[in-house]
Chains A and B, each alone.
Chain A
Amino acid sequence: MRKPKTGQVLNGVGLSLLVACFLFATYRIVTRTTEDANPDSKVLRFAHWQLEGGIRKAFDVLAREYESTHPGVTIEQIAIPERIWRNWTTTQLIGGTAPDLIQIGRMTTTQIARFFRPITDYVDLPNPYNKGTDLEGVAWRSTFHDNLETTYNRELMDYYGVSPFNATVRAYYNLDLLRKYTDSEDPPLNLPDFFEVCEQVRTRSAAEDHPIHPIAGSTYTGNILYDRMAATQTQRLAAELNPIGSFPVLYEDFFLAFLDGRWSLYDPPLQDALNLMRRFGREMTPGFLSLSREDATFYFLQQRALMIPTGSFDISSIIDQAKFPIVIAPIPIPEPETPVYGRNLIAKPAEGGIRMNGPFGTTYDSKHPELALDFLRFLSSQRANQTFTNVSRWLPVIRGVKVDDAIKPFVPDRTGFPPGPTFRAGVEARRVTETQIHLLMSDSNDAVDYADIVTDQYARGMKRDLETATLRFSRNVMRDDSTYGAYEYLASTRPENPDYERRLKLIRMSQMRQELRYEDLIRQMDQLP
């Protein structure tokens, strides 16, 4: 018998695969068509980029619960990797094939206006799924910790979505390593103790085959730490730069003050901030500046680092994969009584993070917009949010939802004084930080050397950022003229619709606010040396 040639075998395999794919595709089309053809059947699809552990399971549990009380409804969850999220959503939205609900956190205002339905008409009505709870009869908007402010689009003057979760950042410690190298089970809660623990870990593990590093480092974890530390050290300075109030100025005013010579990288608060960042950099995995978030997590799970700073959204991924006990604690930051660094603070820096993350919006492509709205109401009811947080271990967004002990360490701390701007504010100034930070971590430079190298670059970057900010304000103001004119015309010619007058009032104030900000920025920039 003649042996078949390799090429013939490959052709056969290829053909078989082709036939298999064809049959599978045919099956999918036939089953989908059957489903669509059933007049009593409705399929609601929702898409998100949250691939972290726990969340898909939580969405599944809620989807099944919703289906059980809504016969004929099927809920499909579509999880899309973060790196292709933008391309995928853009293609779906433009192609008219978008799912009913999509996370809108990364959409532009133009995309939101074009592709998503506002939910403004419903936010002041009670959520019917809160019946029988202490939120019964309360306006949907007021059932959220942040009064839904996160999803209010200031430019479009509408609410567009809701989400069931929130996130904060904490330090995850490997309890076995903590015990082994510090003889304690308690994570350090203040900065001097933290550096003491780092020293112990480095010293005591140095003689081992695989030395342990205090922090699982990466660009991602590095940025978390730089931001957290720098924001503490700029707190007092930024508050003192506020000529009309007691709270720290926003980054535009902070940049203006830099360009005006009112602060420099050589001033004690900034030198302290740089030294602190440098100190944290030295506690991280060597080469962390070229490592990704996944690398750092892997390093931590391999028990090669004592701690990893990351978000509450990683809790399930880390706890489920770790073969060691985890203890979670706040990231130690300087407080007023902390030696050296405490002098730059007014009070303990406050934490934000009570706002919701990644809200879902209903697309105009949705075949079942009422059902989509109903599912959003269900998802954000007190009971569903309780289930969601119990299963996912993510922070809830609805008032009255209880968090179990596992996620209590993530609950935002509302005490303290707002922090100042960071070195990663703006776009161009941030780029300087991100491209030059390696110089700060280098053995051959100190914080003064770093200031020598980057001061001019920061000045150019901040100037460009301010120009961009004025351009943005100016564009918004100009754009609002057309919108204002249109609503004014609609309000005067269609008085039967009070919504036009309501929007006209809103835009009048918001445009004026932006215009004043623009005029004042221009005025101050004109005065710069």
Chain B
Amino acid sequence: MLAALSVYGAARIGPDTQLEAAWLDLATLKVSEANEVFHRVHRRTGTQESAYGLALSLLNLQPKTRGNIERAQELFEELAANGETDDLVINARYFLARIDQVHRTQVDPEAAIEAYRRLLEDFPDKPTAEKAVPKLASALLICDLPNNEWEVRFDEVSALLDQITISSNRAATQLVLIEALLRIRTDHARALPILVDLLDSNPKLRADLRRDFVVQAIDSARALGKDRIAEKYAIIFLEDYAYDPRAGAIQTFLEESAP
């Protein structure tokens, strides 16, 4: 009885209001609630908004099942083929690549790489497509490859970085380049300028991320003997993160490096 009343009540609220609430639920991790609404509205209206919301919620509906991922893929494929706007087509194609990259039980990074490349080729001037760049960079660079092959991939990502117009997409791509250079190549010399640019261009990065990047800038600068750069970031670290357990060691470095 209660369930029937609740369905009746929900039906009396307009689909737009329901969808608004469902988007907010999906954004704040109330996935099952969001999925239920998207599913209900999609069955009644069949709009592309409800299809897109339903597909996104299926990606994170627990327990995660192959059936849900395949259903999400079908919905994204439909939107990629018949999306009413370029942005919807781009987003659907982006999430199809994400399914290949992270959501399948057996992931297929090569398929994801090709999908991202095609997406960026098909929509070179669309900022919405830029979010594929850091994901493509990660798939291309966080792996062990022969030197030449890896460098060709690095150049590909560096070229894409120069074309990015949205600052947070640029920062995310820089993050991939830095991690790849340091973890795969242990190359402080190429990583440091990117790190410095990332820090200087994004003063409002999330505190915990920024804190670790500042420490890495100090470490990389010291590894390269660039003490002035290390000192600059040591001062920033001590001003902003004095509570961190690394503060004592950074303070000591600063004192020892003082002329």
Contacts and interface: CB of A to CB of B under 8 A. Distances in A.
A, B: real partners: yes
Interface of A: 109-110, 113-114, 145-147, 149, 152, 154-157, 243-247, 347, 350-352, 354-355, 414-419, 474, 477-479, 481-483, 485-490, 492, 500, 503-506, 508-510, 512-513, 515-516, 519-520, 523, 527
B53 A244 contact: no
B60 A482 contact: yes
Given A481-B60, A485-B95, A509 B175 contact: yes
Interface in B156-173: 167-169, 171-172
B249 interface: yes
Given A157-B206, A489-B53, A500-B27, 20 more contacts: A113-B28, A114-B30, A246-B219, A247-B215, A347-B249, A350-B247, A415-B252, A418-B245, A481-B95, A482-B60, A483-B26, A486-B34, A487-B27, A489-B49, A508-B168, A508-B172, A509-B171, A512-B176, A516-B179, A519-B138
A519 B143 CA distance: 8
Contact of B243 (A110, A247, A354, A418): A354
B248 interface: yes
Given A481-B98, A483-B29, A506 B245 contact: no
B242 A414 contact: yes
B7 interface: no
Contacts of A146: 243
B207 interface: yes
B26 A516 contact: no
Given A350-B245, A351-B245, A486-B26, A509 B168 contact: yes
A248 to B, nearest CB: 10
A490 B28 CA distance: 12
A474 B246 CA distance: 28
A152 B135 CA distance: 26
Nearest to A112: B29
B216 interface: yes
Interface in B74-92: 87, 91
Nearest to B61: A482
A354 to B, nearest CB: 4
A250 B252 CA distance: 22
Interface in B58-76: 59-60, 64
Contacts of B134: 508, 512
Nearest to B171: A509
Contacts of A243: 183, 186
Contacts of B144: 523, 527
Given A152-B207, A520-B183, A481 B245 contact: no
B26 A513 contact: no
Given A350-B245, A414-B242, A509 B172 contact: yes
How many B residues are at the interface, by size bracket?
Answer: 35 or more
Nearest to A347: B249
A418 B23 contact: no
Which of A157, A486, A492 has the most chain B CB atoms inside 10 A of its CB? A486
Nearest to A113: B29
Contacts of A247: 215, 219, 246, 249
A416 B23 contact: no
Which of B52, B87, B167, B206 has the most chain A CB atoms inside 10 A of its CB? B206
23 contacts: A147-B207, A149-B207, A244-B219, A245-B219, A247-B219, A347-B252, A350-B245, A350-B246, A414-B242, A414-B247, A415-B251, A474-B102, A478-B59, A483-B28, A485-B59, A486-B27, A488-B131, A490-B24, A508-B134, A509-B171, A509-B205, A512-B138, A513-B209
Given A244-B182, A245-B219, A490-B23, A508 B56 contact: no
B39 interface: no
Nearest to A484: B131
B209 A482 contact: no
Contacts of B40: none
A497 B53 CA distance: 19
A346 to B, nearest CB: 8
A520 B179 contact: yes
Given A110-B29, A481-B95, A508-B168, A145 B138 contact: no
A503 B27 contact: yes
B56 A482 contact: yes
A414 B248 contact: yes
Contacts of A505: 167-168
The 6 closest A-B pairs by CB, nearest first: A354-B243, A482-B60, A486-B27, A486-B26, A245-B219, A519-B142
B129 interface: no
Interface string B135-151: 10010001110000000
Contacts of A488: 91, 131
B44 to A, nearest CB: 19
Given A350-B245, A513-B209, A478 B103 contact: yes
Interface string B29-57: 11100100000000000000100110011
B27 A490 contact: yes
Contacts of A513: 175, 209
Nearest to A527: B144
A425 B188 CA distance: 30
B13 to A, nearest CB: 18
